[in-house]
Amino acid sequence: MPSNAEIADKWIIFTFARLYESFPVRVDISVEEIQNEIGGPPFGSVNVFAADLASWLIEEKYIRSGTPYSDEVFLAEAVLTERALAALKKVPSAMSEKRSLGERLKDLSLDIGKSVAKKEAGEWIVELFSNLP
């Protein structure tokens, strides 16, 4: 069974992919949408998990959101911050593949609810956060 941290990584990937695709248009992301695609946390309430993850993403300045979390809406009127967008546009110099993190994220998010290995999701999160200013 995956840990809460592993599920959080997948929720973050899904969220960043949606916001990267829609940038600069603000979008709502529902709890139900993510749960249907990825699933919920194995430990604790999905509502507590979603509220805490949404708060963390906003407090750490990765995402701006227009209204507070509710039981139905994970992020309302959400958009990536300049900090997150800059990291997603980077092409890591160590990568042989010359696509930005954001472009690779789109491919990864297509499989996130199906068969993305824990290792791949975790590696992407580490790579993203290491590229943040």
9-48 pLDDT, tens per residue?
A: 889 988 998 999 999 999 999 999 998 888 888 888 898 9
The CA distance from 113 to 115, in Å, is 7
User: Tens digit of pLDDT for each residue in 95-127?
Assistant: 455 666 666 666 666 555 554 555 566 666 666
pTM score, two decimals? 0.74
Q: Token digits for 23?
A: 């940038």
In this structure, the strands spanning 73-80 and 27-30 are antiparallel
Contacts of 131 (CB under 8 A, 6+ apart): 87, 90, 92, 101
